[in-house]
Amino acid sequence: MSINLRFTSAIPGGWRIWKENVEAAGVPTRIADARHFAHGREQGLELEQDPHKPNSIKVIGLYKGWFIKHKSHIGFVPDADAEIIARRDFAEFRPRLRSICAVDQPHLTIMVKFDILETVKPRTKKLPKLV
């Protein structure tokens, strides 16, 4: 099995790239779920914050199987990025899937890369002081 998928979805209005080409951490410990994700169709990602550990942010793989949609925990946002996100408003961030690579020589290895998008804050204009 060898999979090399690239995704080029547009950045939604009101969002911008905060961090590019982030590799999901911990995928080898969730290899069965990651394999199903890699073989699925219409893949996507979402982030989920652990209510008991705010610095731990799960990467959830969304994909379509034969008939139904699936949702699987496939990894984590790397610690350094998760700490920064945890200090800010979690709702200001979302993932954009970039690639899924899977190779089974000599053993199964799956790599999931994504961008982390953040909301664009509107700029506030400084009004001139009235004298």
In the numeric block, which tokens belong to residue 72? 């699987």
Q: Which of 5, 3, 23, 4 is nearest to 95 (CA)?
A: 23
pLDDT by residue for the chain (131 residues), tens only, comes to 688 999 999 999 999 999 999 999 999 999 999 999 999 999 999 999 988 887 899 999 999 988 899 999 999 999 999 999 999 999 999 999 999 999 988 888 999 999 999 999 776 666 667 66
- Residue 40 CA to residue 47 CA, distance in Å, equals 19
Residues contacting residue 11 through CB under 8 Å, at least 6 positions apart: 17, 96, 117
Give residues with Cβ within 8 angstroms of 54, minimum separation 6. 86
Check: CATH 2.20.25 for 2-119? no
Burial of 78-88, coded b for 16+ CB within 10 Å and e otherwise, reads beebbeebbee
Res 106: pLDDT: 84
**pLDDT (0 to 100) of residue 65:** 85
Q: What is the pLDDT of residue 119?
A: 94
Answering whether pTM is above 0.75, one says yes
Predicted local confidence at residue 107, as pLDDT: 86
Which long-range contacts (C-beta less than 8 Å, at least 24 apart) are formed by 118-124? 118/15, 118/16, 118/17, 118/18, 118/92, 118/93, 119/14, 119/15, 119/92, 120/14, 120/15, 120/16
Domain ranges of the chain: 2-119
